Amino acid sequence: MSTPMHSRSIARSIGTLLASIGLMNYPLISAKSSSPVPGARLAQHAIQRPADGPGPIAVTPALDTARAASAIITTDGGTLTATAANGALFALTIPKGGLVDQQSITMTPVASIPDLPFGGGLAGGGAVQLAPEGPILMETATLVIQPASPIRFDQQSPFGWVNAGDDFHLFPLSLDVTAITLNIDHLDGYGIGSGSSADRQAIAAHQPSGLQPRREQNVEVAVEAARDKLQGGLTKKQQKKLTISSESCGRQPAVPFYQPNSLMNPLF
């Protein structure tokens, strides 16, 4: 069983790992609790590695427009939910102050991505296209994905794209390993599939053309290692929650937490 000393050791290791790639204020979750703790978000002007690998990846998501959900979200924030054909549930929560003015937001589940570069494809997971594409959110929003069937922890492969499938890239999950949560600051395409570590490494070798997708992919590589450390430090109760969390697809997903983080907050 994990001890407080062990959890603090994990926290320090994660802090060092995230800081090494230029992270600031990325939302962190304690291995002992589901409550938000001060963390580090990716710096807006993080130094990028040179694009010396293979070129960008493009995919062709087929949208299931019949299952699209839309709502007017005001500056007070709000939540939008949608269900994919396979039963996967998606909940987008935009916090108060996330929009500078009220906006019609649409979330469209993806029916398929035939060229998705993961061995297991979408599996019980799925993806959505958020619209209008591109707007930058003033506060971080959360996209919680509840798969229709469990995706093994080491197979969870989060991703994103821009426009209609350009600059496909790995996207970091939150450090709450008991849920599949993406912290987003712009509206584009996002999802979770089933892939091996080798699949993700192959994608990571491709440098997206855009600065934001490139930055998100660089962060995912570090966050994956951090999540592995946290998952290894879970209590038995949390491990049980992790095992069954994606089996409750008959229930509507709970509205996830959100807590803005100061740029000067320490990691823990």
pLDDT over 80 (residue 227): yes
For range 61-71, the mean pLDDT: 98
Compute CA distances 198 → 7, 96, 117, 122, 176, whole Å: 28, 39, 11, 16, 23
Domains defined along the chain, listed by start: 4-45+53-247 (2.60.220.30)
Identify the pLDDT of residue 65: 98
Split at pLDDT 50, 70, 90, the class of 136 is: confident
Split at pLDDT 50, 70, 90, the class of 201 is: very high
For range 201-225, the mean pLDDT: 95
Identify the pLDDT of residue 105: 97
Can you tell me the distance from the alpha carbon of 81 to that of 91, in angstroms, rounded to the nearest whole number? 4
Split at pLDDT 50, 70, 90, the class of 91 is: very high
pLDDT over 90 (residue 184): yes
Identify the pLDDT of residue 133: 85
pLDDT, the chain, mean: 78
Residue with tokens 């939008």: 80
Query: Higher confidence at residue 56 or residue 135?
Result: 56
For range 61-67, the mean pLDDT: 98
